[in-house]
Amino acid sequence: MKRPKIQFLAVYVTVFLFLLLGGGCALLPDIDISPPSTTPANPPTTTDTATPIDPEWNPASIDGDAFELPNIAEVVARVKPSVVAINVEVVTYDIFNRPQTQEGAGSGWVIDKDGLIVTNNHVVEGAQTVTVTFANGETYAAGEVRTDPLTDLAVVQVDARNLPALSIGDCSNLRVGDWAVAIGNPLGLGISAKEGIISRKDVSITFSSGQILYDLIETSAAINPGNSGGPLVNMTGEVIGITSAKLSAIGVEGLGYAISSNASLPIIEELIQQGYVVRPWLGVGLESVSEWIAARYSLAVNQGALITQVAQGSPADIAELKQGDVVIAFDGEDITTAQELIQVIHSSKIGQKVPVTFWRGEDQMVAEVTLIESPPPP
C-alpha cells in the first residue's frame, strides 16, 4: 500500500522541478539559480596579522549620576494606606416590580484626615448602604454622601480621624509618556496597583446614556470594574486623576480614563463646602432630538434639544419657553443635542442674559433668558 504513494511523490517532484527549471519559466521571475561562487567578488585585503580598529578604545565607565527608573513599589507603599474599598447595596426591582438588593464595589481615596473620601458618583449613586474598608482591614459605615452626577464625582464622610490623606498634583505639567499608577479595588478583590503611562490628555468621552465627561486623562494602566473612584497617581504619590471609566470591546486594550485633578478639585471643594455644585441654571428638562423623536412629536427639525419640562419660576419659565420647544441655538452657538446645550449653559455665567433660538411648531422664535444660580438638590 505504501509503494504507489512513493511513486506518486516521485512523479510530483519531477513535475515540480520541470515547471521550476523549464516549463514554469513564464510564471516565475527571472532569477539566477546557479550555485553561488565560492570566491567573493571583492575579497578583503589579507595581511599576515590583524589590524586593530582603535587600540586606545575602552568601554564607557559607569556613571554614578545616571538617571534611575522610578521605584513604583515606593509609590504604592506611600499611597496604598490612603486608598479604600467601597461596598454598596442598591435596591432594584425585577420585571414583576419586586424589590431585590444588589451589591456593588468601587474605590476611593482619603482627601482629608478627618474622614473625607473621594470617589465616583456612579459608585454610590442610589445606594441604600455604603461601607468603606481601608487596606489595613478597618471598616466604617458612610455618614454623609454628596454627589455631582454631571461630573461623576462624589464625597463620602466616615467617622474616623487622623487618616493618611493624599496630596493632589498639578495635571498641567503632565506629559504623554509619564509614568502613572492606578490603585484601587478591582473586581472587589482588595486594594491592588497597576502601572502604566499617560497616553493622552484632555480627552472627552460620550457614554451610551448621553453623558459626556471632559478633561480626562487616558492611561495604559489596567482599569477594571471596581477601580472606579480610586486615584491615579504620579511618581511622587500625588493624585493626578480619579479613575472613572474604560473602553471595553473585543481587541481594545489599555484605554482607561481618569478625571483630571485640575478638573475635579473645584467640584470636590464645592461638594465639601456647600454640599452641591453651584452652576448657571436655565430650569428645563432636555432630550436630544433624533429623526425618531422628530417623527414621533412632528417636530420641524431633526436635531436640537427638546424641552421636556420647565421648572416653575425658572429662567426658562420667565422667558416663556414651553414643553415641546426645540432649542437650536444658545448665545449664538448652534445646538444639535441636549448635552451640547447643557455644556454651553454651564460654561456661561450666573446673571448672564442670553438669546435662545428655538422652534415652536412650524415657527422659529428667539427668547432672552437670564441665567440664575442652580438650586440645591432635593
Instruction: Choose, from 192, 228, 260, 264, the residue flagged as catalytic.
Output: 228
Instruction: Give per-residue pLDDT as tens, 351-372.
Output: 999 999 999 999 999 999 999 9
List pLDDT tens digits, range 47-69.
567 788 777 877 756 555 555 55
Q: Are 271 and 146 in contact (CB under 8 A)?
A: yes
Question: Is 24's pLDDT higher than 60?
Answer: no
Beta-bridged to residue 288, according to DSSP, are 305
CATH of domain 72-158: 2.40.10.10
Determine the pLDDT at residue 244. 86
pLDDT band at 222 (very low <50, low <70, confident <90, very high): confident
Q: Say what percent of the chain tops pLDDT 90.
A: 60
Q: Which CATH number fits domain 171-273: 3.90.220.20, 1.20.1050.10, 2.40.10.10, 3.20.20.70?
A: 2.40.10.10
More confident residue, 206 or 274: 274
Domain with CATH 2.30.42.10 in the chain: 280-373
Which residue from 110, 86, 91, 116 is spatially nearest to 101, judged by alpha carbons? 91
Select which of 107, 122, 148, 325 is catalytic.
122
Percent of the chain at pLDDT > 70 equals: 81
d(CA 108, CA 153): 11
Question: Residue 44: what residue type?
Answer: P
Gap between the Cα atoms of 212 and 216, Å rounded: 11
Residue 206, pLDDT score = 78
Q: For residue 153, is pLDDT > 90?
A: yes
152 is catalytic: yes
CA distance 143 to 160: 11
Mean pLDDT over 2-15 rounds to 41
Three cell numbers written together for 72: 513604583
Strand partners, 119: 154
Q: How large is the average pLDDT for residues 171-196?
A: 91
**Which of 62-66, 262-266, 318-322 is predicted least confidently?**
62-66
Closest residue by Cα to residue 193 from 171, 154, 219: 219
Q: Among 36-50, 263-277, 303-317, 336-350, where is mean pLDDT lowest?
A: 36-50
Q: What is the pLDDT of residue 135?
A: 87
Domain ranges in the chain with CATH number 2.40.10.10? 72-158, 171-273
pLDDT over threshold 80, residue 89 = yes
Q: Which of 82, 148, 152, 199 is catalytic?
A: 152
Per the annotation, the verdict on 346 as an active-site residue is no
**CATH topology (fold) of 280-373:** Pdz3 Domain (2.30.42)
Tell me, yes or no, if 82 is annotated catalytic.
Answer: no
Burial of 371: CB neighbours in 10 Å, binned 0-12, 13-18, 19+: buried
Mean pLDDT, residues 132-142 taken together: 92
